[in-house]
Amino acid sequence: MNIPFLDLKVQFREIEHEVLPMVKEAMENAAFIGGPQVSGFETEFATFCDSRHCAGVNSGTDALRFALMAAGVGPGDEVITVPHTFIATTEAISQVGAKPVFVDIDPKTYNMDPNKLENYLRKRLDGPSTSNHDPGSRIQTQPKAVIPVHLYGQPADMDPILEIAKKNNLVVIEDACQAHGALYKGKKAGSMGLVGCFSFYPGKNLGAYGEGGAVVTESEDMANKIRMIRDHGQAKKYYHDLEGYNGRLDAIQAGVLRIKLKRLDSWNAARRQNAAYYDDLLSKIPGVTIPFQADYAKSVYHLYVILADDREGLQRHLSDKGIGTGLHYPVPLHLQKAYAAQGYKQGDFPVTESVAKRLLSLPMFPELTKAQIEYVADCIAQYMQR
Ligand SMILES: Cc1ncc(COP(=O)(O)O)c(C=O)c1O
């Protein structure tokens, strides 16, 4: 049996009859940038996220970058996030001129540990020299924002994070790029911070047929600022209040996203069902740790990630059996070359480091069949019991 890590072709067959006429209509009307597809999608996605406003942008990275800019984050500011995420989270921070700093994750959920956030801020009050990982730098930075990442489709523990942020005057920007439709105590991922940032990279739970992203927010002011930033800093054509970016969501991608959004709840339900079946089969195999779902969370399983000690061997075995897998993410951000100048070292974030060595993402998409899940579980059992 051949089981890809992700199969976007099978999903296309389900929506082809809507996508192709939509693309043809866009060509016939020469409607490519802005227009009713983009505004229609923004209204529908805001509603989906239980948020008042949505601004479509060109990627999840742009969503984070524009959100930080609109929130006034820049040089001299620290933005606190986790080392266990995709680098886009920290690229956005650095690219607005701020400094990314890390706190470790919870060993069960793999998301930001609110206690570690609190400890970091407490230490920070004692003075920058005790916790600043950039001792050579003469620039004193102050914590300004926190970015919890809802990794793999499960929301971070938002209540304590929001409370700590409030106490310390920090802006909260949710990185919901992997969590479209996920719930925290019944609240939609992306709807709890000042803004929520989404990616519509093709492999996401809601994926475009190209690049795409969005910011959702209750704040009209933030939404307006982000709309300006995505469009060269202009609210009116050729009148630029500030320098922005070319970071718009295009009309054909918005059209694709509208077609897919109607199906997202049922696709997410199918992912949850697949995860439950994996859980059932894999929990019986010694040496495999299945994903933990916290009481407060309803995960949408963007990824289904297990832990196993001999992860490389298991990955090779699954590959030999025709099963695609992934590593999300093998090198923690604090140990990446890109952040070497910050002076972090091995051992600084032990939970992240331990998880990064053992994680393995299994095939996960709504159309995965029971037979495919059984085959993956059988192959894992074979390897673990060898
Ligand atoms: C957690 C996280 N943040 C940010 C991004 C960036 O999104 P994009 O690839 O659309 O720029 C991604 C997507 O890969 C992501 O997974």
Nearest Cα neighbor of 161 from 144, 146, 182, 179 is 146
Q: How many angstroms is it from 321 CA to the middle of ligand 1?
A: 30
pLDDT of residue 349: 98
**Residue 175 CA: distances (Å) to CA of 185, 247, 315:** 17, 18, 28
For the segment 257-274, the average pLDDT, to the nearest whole number, is 98
DSSP 153: G
CA 216 to chain centre: 14
By DSSP bridging, strand 171-175 and strand 195-199 are parallel
Nearest Cα neighbor of 356 from 319, 330, 334, 327 is 330
DSSP 209: S
**Residue 337 CA: distances (Å) to CA of 78, 92, 114, 349:** 20, 17, 27, 16
Residue whose Cα lies nearest atom 12 of ligand 1: it is 177
Ligand 1 atom with least separation from CA of 150: 1
For the segment 182-203, the average pLDDT, to the nearest whole number, is 98
pTM: 0.97
For the segment 94-103, the average pLDDT, to the nearest whole number, is 98
Q: How many angstroms is it from 132 CA to the middle of ligand 1?
A: 27
pLDDT of residue 77: 98
Sort residue 140 into left (φ over 0), alpha (ψ -120 to 50) or beta. beta
pLDDT band at residue 134, thresholds of 50, 70 and 90? Answer: low
Structure tokens that stand for 102 in this block: 């890390």
CA 327 to chain centre: 15
Strand, helix or coil for residue 230: coil
**Residue 305 CA: distances (Å) to CA of 50, 157, 194, 286, 336:** 28, 19, 29, 16, 21
pLDDT of residue 139: 58
Question: What is the rounded distance in angstroms from the CA atom of residue 149 to the CA atom of residue 189?
Answer: 10
Torsion of CA 189, 192, 193, 194, to 10 degrees: 110
Mutate to test the pocket of ligand 1, among 65, 94, 199, 205 (most ligand atoms within 8 A of CB): 199
Structure tokens that stand for 188 in this block: 């939609």
- Pocket lining: 282 vs ligand 1, CB cutoff 6 Å: no
- Pocket lining: 299 vs ligand 1, CB cutoff 6 Å: no
pLDDT of residue 128: 58
- Pocket lining: 253 vs ligand 1, CB cutoff 6 Å: no
278 contacts 272 by C-beta, under 8 angstroms = no
Q: How many angstroms is it from 61 CA to the middle of ligand 1?
A: 6
- Pocket lining: 326 vs ligand 1, CB cutoff 6 Å: no
257 contacts 200 by C-beta, under 8 angstroms = yes
- Pocket lining: 213 vs ligand 1, CB cutoff 6 Å: yes
pLDDT band at residue 354, thresholds of 50, 70 and 90? Answer: very high
Question: What is the rounded distance in angstroms from the CA atom of residue 199 to the CA atom of residue 115?
Answer: 28
Nearest Cα neighbor of 79 from 63, 102, 95, 57 is 102
pLDDT of residue 137: 53
Strand ranges (DSSP E) for the chain? 53-57, 77-81, 99-102, 142-146, 171-175, 183-184, 187-188, 195-199, 213-217, 234-236, 239-240, 297-298, 304-307, 359-362
Structure tokens that stand for 28 in this block: 């016939």
Tokens 């897998």, residue located? 325
Q: Angle 203-208-214 (CA atoms, 0-180°, nearest 5)?
A: 100
Q: Per-residue pLDDT for 131 more than 80? A: no
- Pocket lining: 86 vs ligand 1, CB cutoff 6 Å: yes
Structure tokens that stand for 164 in this block: 């700590």
pLDDT of residue 129: 46
pLDDT band at residue 347, thresholds of 50, 70 and 90? Answer: very high
pLDDT band at residue 125, thresholds of 50, 70 and 90? Answer: confident
Torsion of CA 331, 333, 334, 339, to 10 degrees: 110
- Pocket lining: 58 vs ligand 1, CB cutoff 6 Å: no
- Give the residue with greater pLDDT, 365 vs 139: 365
Ligand 1 atom with least separation from CA of 59: 10
Mean pLDDT computed over every residue of the chain: 96
Strand ranges (DSSP E) for 6-84? 53-57, 77-81
For the segment 63-68, the average pLDDT, to the nearest whole number, is 98
- Pocket lining: 174 vs ligand 1, CB cutoff 6 Å: no
**CA dihedral (332, 335, 339, 343) positive or negative:** positive
